[in-house]
Structure 1
């Protein structure tokens, strides 16, 4: 695999033009909170669907009609529709989070050894939407994020390393058990990354302020 092209150091680099006082905040937790709420409602919808259909079948067996109760069956169906609808919201929240995570990285850290070119936050997020390719890309994007965070730890030490093993586990579960196991692992992964950026941001701001 060919190495990435040299990064263009331009005086008009928007990263360099930002104010040091407001540019190095950690990854915002808002998206993760939304993701958490969505996953919680999806789990409730899943339990409602299974519970409603099970109750409908039990009621039909006890009544001897062999026909499931329409009301209970409808409750289960509503739970299923809720899960399917919120699945798209979950995907959207995940894309926003990975965009924000890569957008937080300094420009010179937006690369991975599994991709030969420099990456932009929008590219990282949008390539997740390519069918079948996204199975590979989610490993590249999330493991690449962890590699970048570990590189930054050299200058801005944190209490814990990047959760790369957790990223691999979440990606693997996304292929096998996407819900609820993978969803829970993604939440833990997001929180760990946000904690790292919070520690780094506290050290970044004073150093960057001295350079301006």
Structure 2
């Protein structure tokens, strides 16, 4: 309870009653406030000496409009300032290759250095070794970039697609990505979970028959 002009205020008790003493007589603006209720503003005459009953109405809190937007991965790829080539799992299976680097080496601008079966390292536009960043699901793969007789330490069966950035990728991945970046992306877990659920359901149906 507040009289702004008189700079007098008080709080109600547990029963909701309030009381002012020694108020000057006259007509003054009064405000009644409570958390979660609409503020009541009223002009009252303090000289009548009559009790005053005020009922507060619960206030409805409203927020502004909330807009949720989303874009697909293909849209984000088109918006990216860095051109990215994607080799999906179907294309990888169609390649006659001994390892995953050999499979993506057919991409324009990408080749390989190989010293034997299963030993390949990516070459982008003539640069390789520590000039090409190799990522395994976003994590840098730096095990054998200097060894001639060692290939990329990535499980070929756990790859869903390969993303190749040809050109300087140092803005996003590091200063050593002068030639480009090769990112091997694993499949999403929900695909495997759905396949397992379908297999269990099929097994139960066969037993029931």
Q: Please tell me the TM-score bracket, short chain as reference.
A: under 0.3
TM-score by length of 2: 0.24
Higher helix share: 1
Task: Please state which structure has a larger fraction of its residues in strand.
Answer: 2
Higher gyration radius (CA): 2
